[in-house]
Amino acid sequence: MKSVKVTILGKQFPLKVKDSEEETMKRIAHYVDDKFRQYKKELNKQPDTTVMSLAALAIAEELFEERKQNRELNQQEEKVMEKVNGSLEEFVDEITS
User: pTM for the complete prediction?
Assistant: 0.76
**AA identity, residue 61:** E
Residue 3 has a pLDDT of: 94
CA-to-CA dists, residue 12 to 9, 16, 78, 90, angstroms: 8, 13, 45, 62
pLDDT at 97: 77
Helix (H) or strand (E) holding 87: helix 48-96
Query: Phi and psi of 67, rounded to 5°?
Result: -65, -40
- Per-residue pLDDT at 59: 98
Distance CA 38, CA 52 (A): 10
What local confidence, expressed as pLDDT, does residue 73 receive? 96
Determine the pLDDT at residue 21: 95
Q: Mean pLDDT in each 10-residue stretch from start to end of the chain (97 residues)?
A: 94 95 96 96 94 96 98 96 93 87
The domain ranges of the chain are 2-96
